[in-house]
Chain A
Amino acid sequence: MTQAEGTFNRLANPTRFMGLASTILPWLTGLTAILLVAGLYLAFFVAPEDYQQGHTVKIMFIHVPFAWLAMMGYSVIAIASIGSLIWRHPMADVAAKTAAPIGACFTLLALITGSLWGKPMWGTYWVWDARLTSVLLLFFLYLGLMALWQAIEEPSRAGRAAAILAIVGSVNIPIIKFSVDWWNTLHQPASVVKLDGPAIHSSILIPLLIMAAAFTCLFFVLHLMAMRTEVLRRRVQALRLTHVDAAGATQGARA
């Protein structure tokens, strides 16, 4: 067994995971807080106005990280789903299930901040811009995954069904992205402002990167917390089942 496999197996054990999460979480939470405060300070007090977008560029400092986390969240789900399908690791299952609502929240925020940015920039809350449209479709994929998790009662079956759907979705995302881009170039709306103009100046890029790091840390803090809760939930369910089993057995013996 290689070293990496050893670490992997240790992480895959729920009890060891709980210990590790308790050690990491305070540090990661602190790091998130520091990065967030630094990022917000830079974004509001240091970063200059954009010559094209004025002060609305401040929305970019949260919108772009949210959009990035929307995609990263789905990647986490897809990778965990591969782990859960191939190695049948319970922790991979837990990771995939708990990442979905968090990723969906970031996707929703990317859409909301995007439309709040769009109103002053484009004069309308929603444009069928290629990027906004693909993020919207990504949001639907998240909703489908969460609905499937809810619809199937038995956790192990729900986990594997959702894993299949997540992998199918991750194969489809590039195709959907490509087709939406294609669709958008065919129906090019005249008013859309191109956001990717010349290279971004470092006074804007550095706060953006810090904010992205802060929200990425926040994602993992939330994810670790949710994973811990999910492990507890499964323990409660398991205990209840054994309790019911035991009660049934004693009753059976009495009868």
Chain B
Amino acid sequence: MSAFMSLIARDLRLAWREGGAISTALGFYLVVVAILPLGLGPDLNLLARIAPGILWVALLLAALLSVDRIFHNDHEDGTLEIIALGPLPLELVAAAKATAHWISIGIPLTLAAPILALLLNLPAEAFWVLVLTMATGTPAISFLGALGAALTLGLGRGGLLLALLILPLYTPVLIFGVAAMNAVITGPSPFLSSYLILCAITLATVVLAPIAAAAALRLNLN
């Protein structure tokens, strides 16, 4: 367990020191959310109605942007092979790196969402549910992203391929995240049923995705 925690701490330290990934993801999130009203028109009623969808889709794209870096640097300089030789099973290595991605990218994006929601005139009663659903959904995004990153490791133009592989797998998270928000804003479906399904999807992903990611990593290490 301490090896697991120290791997997360190391990745967070690296992410903090480099800093580029977080600010790029946040900047991308802001630009996407800001440019959509320019295409859709400034009608605040329309924007309020589609705000949950815009915020979630932009979050997925912003997270995708950084997800292919999860294993990339460690693979380039050979650190990944040394980590793989260490005491930690590869499944837990994948889980630790995905967790570090969630803390360094998923949480900042979640915290930025309410500020961007102001731009879209999101109803006030939906702010808490926005943060809650995104905090619940982003781990699934990071863990599925780690799986995609492991599959496309070491390939040229891996980023585009990654998007094609992973975006279809993100649809359940997107659907239930937006459904839980809409349940609070417009009703009539109950909030709790959508939200609990979102929780189930995240829990299942957090358990299963590292297993598949580890299998994919082994292909690169042998």
Contact = CB atoms under 8 A, between A and B. Distances in A.
A binds B: yes
A161 B151 contact: yes
Mostly, the B contact residues are helix
A182 B176 contact: yes
B20 interface: no
A168 B161 contact: no
Contacts of B167: 140
19 contacts: A85-B215, A137-B171, A140-B168, A147-B164, A151-B155, A151-B156, A152-B155, A160-B219, A164-B216, A169-B168, A169-B169, A179-B171, A179-B176, A179-B197, A180-B171, A182-B175, A182-B197, A183-B175, A186-B179
B212 A140 contact: no
Contacts of A151: 152, 155-158, 161
Contacts of A160: 215, 219
Given A147-B161, A151-B152, A182-B175, A137 B212 contact: no
Nearest to A162: B151
Interface of B: 147, 151-152, 155-158, 161, 164-165, 167-169, 171-172, 175-176, 179, 182, 189, 194, 197, 201, 208-209, 212, 215-216, 219
Nearest to B174: A179
A175 B205 CA distance: 11
A241 interface: no
What is the size category of the interface that chain A forms with chain B? 20 to 34
Contact of A167 (B182, B209, B212): B212
A172 interface: yes
Question: Which of B147, B155, B168 has the most chain A CB within a 10 Å cutoff?
Answer: B168
Judged by DSSP, the binding face of A is helix
A169 B189 CA distance: 29
Contact of B164 (A140, A169, A179): A140
Contacts of A144: 161, 164-165, 168
B172 A176 contact: yes
Interface in A208-232: none
A182 B216 CA distance: 32
Contact of A161 (B168, B172, B176, B216): B216
Given A151-B152, A151-B155, A164 B215 contact: yes
A46 interface: no
A148 B168 CA distance: 14
A176 B171 contact: yes
Contact of A182 (B156, B179, B212): B179
B169 A168 contact: yes
A183 B173 CA distance: 11
Given A164-B212, A182-B175, 8 more contacts: A140-B167, A147-B161, A148-B151, A151-B157, A161-B219, A164-B215, A169-B168, A176-B171
